[in-house]
Amino acid sequence: MADDVTGLSARLGEVIGDRAGEWDREGRLPDEVLRELASAGLLCPQVPSAYGGLGLDSRGGGELTAHVGSLCSSVRSVMTSQQMVAGSIERLGDEAQRAAYLPRLAGGEIAAAAFSEPGAGSDLSAMATTIRADGDTVVVDGRKSWITTSAYADLLLVFGRFGDAAAAVMVPADAPGVTVERIGEPLGCRAAGHADITLDGVRVPAGAVLGRTGLPLPFLVTAALAHGRLSVAWGCVGILRACLAEARAHARTREQFGVPIARHQLVARHLAEIYTAEQIAARACEHASHCWDTGSPDMVTATVLAKHVSATHAVSGAGAALQVLASAGARDGHTVARAHRDARLMEIIEGSSEMCTLILADHVLATAD
Ligand SMILES: Cc1cc2nc3c(=O)[nH]c(=O)nc-3n(C[C@H](O)[C@H](O)[C@H](O)COP(=O)(O)OP(=O)(O)OC[C@H]3O[C@@H](n4cnc5c(N)ncnc54)[C@H](O)[C@@H]3O)c2cc1C
């Protein structure tokens, strides 16, 4: 790991400490922790230094995300939201918007990205939220579902229809007409601030629309989701690293039938499986980040592959770790119990495993012999 990433990881470790289980049970991240991470630019470490960010490349940002994922998937989820919004501003916004918003995100404000709706989950083309021009403002109406981080957010990046096409607009979370309702007791990432959002005649300046209106929805969504997918993928590497450490320590010290359980070959096999899962997920993420850092045209496909591989291996790896720990890992709030629940959600978000499979199949069919 590069020195700057090692130093930032240490700082994150100090702020998060071993409190993830406590936050998970409470279903809430402390405000002072979020503000400390946000104001240090640690929630979106890839924002370029020209805009006040830490300026990490994709590989560095990924390793940092994996480290956070190994400590607390709820904080990692907030990082994913923040990175997704910052990345969208960089990709879709004009220079004035980059200069206006990125320093705010690198300097303490928190943001969430809102695509999903009650009738538009996997099929985002069914999105019903509307954004319409009215003089020098735009008006946003709609409902968004399960928006990670939104219970903590200052800013919401809202995607919606604009006439026959689409737009993405930055909405202050306290704007008149915005209602944020926290989702109680989610299966995993319980402190990630998931909420449903209603936007009722929300009026913001036209300059809050990223880039321009009337862009194709698939273009907007793919540009934003790519950031989220790679972040989730690296987060899954972190889950696997935490599971490997817990399973290894337990297998070495827990004795049954007169020997450490690691000496039972069926237990050792679980350890090998978790290690294999971590290595496969890490290599897929490293490849995807390399594509981002070199501007490779394979970037989008490599990112979907990394997300798919990492999420599925995080689920199998966390399951294997729970089997090694058995009752020792079966308590609510235990690292492995949390990992088991958190990993399961990674197969649903940012494009479910089924949707990733379909995208990869399309890629195969579109590739020349
Ligand atoms: C913890 C969590 C955090 C989230 N965070 C955010 C967020 O920050 N921002 C945001 O916008 N959204 C967020 N979401 C919403 C998330 O993106 C959606 O849940 C996801 O896209 C799936 O949509 P759905 O739940 O409506 O499932 P559905 O789309 O109803 O799918 C149900 C099942 O059918 C499968 N399926 C659907 N269509 C097909 C098909 N064509 N072929 C094969 N299988 C198919 C799906 O894979 C899934 O298994 C979050 C959700 C969760 C649970």
Last-in-domain residue among 110, 129, 155: 110
- Cα gap 82→68, rounded to integer Å: 14
- Cα gap 261→251, rounded to integer Å: 5
Residue 1 pLDDT: 66
DSSP symbol at 71: H
* CA dihedral angle for residue 238, residue 60, residue 35, residue 50, rounded to 10 degrees: -160
Residue 121 beta carbon below 6 angstroms from any ligand 1 atom: yes
Residue 53 pLDDT: 97
Residue 197: strand, helix, or coil: strand
Residue 349 beta carbon below 6 angstroms from any ligand 1 atom: yes
Residue 186 beta carbon below 6 angstroms from any ligand 1 atom: yes
Are 226 and 361 part of one and the same domain?
yes
Rounded average pLDDT over 180-201: 97
Are 245 and 345 part of one and the same domain?
yes
CATH of the domain at 120: 2.40.110.10
Range of the domain at 325: 218-366
Nearest CA to 240 out of 301, 292, 315, 172 is that of: 315
Distance 240 CA to ligand 1 centre (A): 23
Residue 114 beta carbon below 6 angstroms from any ligand 1 atom: yes
Are 264 and 294 part of one and the same domain?
yes
> Tell me: the pLDDT tens digits for 121-166?
999 999 999 999 999 999 999 999 999 999 999 999 999 999 999 9
CATH of the domain at 282: 1.20.140.10
Residue 14 pLDDT: 92
Number of folded domains that form the chain = 3
Nearest CA to 349 out of 239, 217, 189 is that of: 189
Residue 348 beta carbon below 6 angstroms from any ligand 1 atom: yes
Are 359 and 232 part of one and the same domain?
yes
Q: Per residue in 170-207, is it b (16+ CB within 10 Å) or e — as a string?
A: bbebeeeebebeebeebebbbbbbbbbbebeebebeee
Rounded average pLDDT over 82-111: 97
Are 229 and 357 part of one and the same domain?
yes
Ligand 1 atom index nearest CA of 189: 1
**Beta carbons within 10 angstroms of residue 328's beta carbon:** 14
Q: Cα dihedral sign for 36, 39, 44, 48?
A: negative
Are 10 and 50 part of one and the same domain?
yes
Check if the beta carbon of residue 145 is closer than 8 Å to that of residue 196: yes
Are 254 and 199 part of one and the same domain?
no
Per the listing, tokens 């289980």 go with: 21
Are 291 and 192 part of one and the same domain?
no
The count of residues in the chain is: 369
> Tell me: the pLDDT tens digits for 251-274?
999 999 999 999 999 999 999 999
Q: Which of 74, 76, 84, 116 to mutate to test the pocket of ligand 1 (most atoms within 8 A of CB)?
A: 116
Cα 75 to chain centroid, rounded: 9
Are 202 and 67 part of one and the same domain?
no
Residue 47, CA distances (Å) to 7, 105, 220, 256 in order: 17, 9, 19, 50
pLDDT at 169 over 90: yes
Residue 74 beta carbon below 6 angstroms from any ligand 1 atom: no
**Percent above pLDDT 70 for the chain:** 100
**Percent above pLDDT 90 for the chain:** 96
Residue 113 beta carbon below 6 angstroms from any ligand 1 atom: yes
- Cα gap 210→208, rounded to integer Å: 6
CATH of the domain at 76: 1.10.540.10
DSSP symbol at 186: -
pLDDT at 25 over 90: yes
- Cα gap 65→205, rounded to integer Å: 33
Distance 83 CA to ligand 1 centre (A): 20
Distance 325 CA to ligand 1 centre (A): 31
Residue 159 beta carbon below 6 angstroms from any ligand 1 atom: no
Q: Is residue 108 packed enough to be buried (19+ CB in 10 Å), middle (13-18) or exposed (0-12)? A: middle
What is the average pLDDT value for the chain, to the nearest integer? 96
User: Using 50, 70 and 90 to split pLDDT, how confident is the model at 212?
Assistant: confident
Are 226 and 332 part of one and the same domain?
yes
Last-in-domain residue among 215, 243, 273: 215
The one-letter amino acid at 278: E
Per the listing, tokens 């998937």 go with: 73
Are 254 and 202 part of one and the same domain?
no
Last-in-domain residue among 177, 200, 215: 215
Check if the beta carbon of residue 244 is closer than 8 Å to that of residue 322: no
Are 123 and 106 part of one and the same domain?
no
Ligand 1 atom index nearest CA of 186: 1
